[in-house]
Amino acid sequence: MSLMKRVARELPLAEFTLRKYEKPFGLEGRELTRKLCLSLGLLQPGDSRDGVVDVLHSILHSKGPLPLEQLTSEVINSRKKAGLDAAGIAPSNVRRHLRRLRSLYLIDRTPQGYRVHEGASLPQLFDEKIEQFVLKATTQRVKEYIVAVEQARFVK
């Protein structure tokens, strides 16, 4: 029983990766969205399975909410047009990418389909949701561990 408690406590409440790349000069279209996904940790460097890029790109460039079926179709067409492999873009994978994008508050689901979260701009979403909510809460918790470890150094 105590083993179960220990395992549960070691599961992170949140996990977030940020990467700094060169400035986005000369990038456009899918490649620009790909760098955003890399920067936000949605994609690993060198990853060939990059369906999340097409999912986000399709939502960012849609005029309104996209139902799952239409989104999946647009992702498939987008990859074909770009000459990319269609592996990894089954509806189940598209749903998994959508969950990841929703967990970062980049998109939300409405009765009509998926859209950019609350129709906001990306800079606004980053400031309000990621920087102020996710990062702030995470860095505060890390600081609590730093203080606890520092205090433990001097306890005998």
Q: What is the pLDDT of residues 63-119, one digit of tens each?
A: 999 999 999 999 999 998 888 887 778 889 999 999 999 998 999 999 999 999 998
Structure tokens at 153: 């150094």
Domain boundaries, the chain: 2-119
Q: What is the pTM of this model?
A: 0.84
Q: Which CATH number does the domain 2-119 belong to among 3.40.710.10, 1.10.10.10, 3.90.226.30, 3.30.1520.10?
A: 1.10.10.10
- Please list the residues that pair with 109 across neighbouring strands: 114
How far apart are the C-alpha atoms of 55 and 47, rounded to whole Å?
Answer: 15
pLDDT tens column, 24-39 = 999 999 999 999 999 9
What would you report as the CA-atom Rg of the chain, rounded to the nearest whole angstrom?
Answer: 19
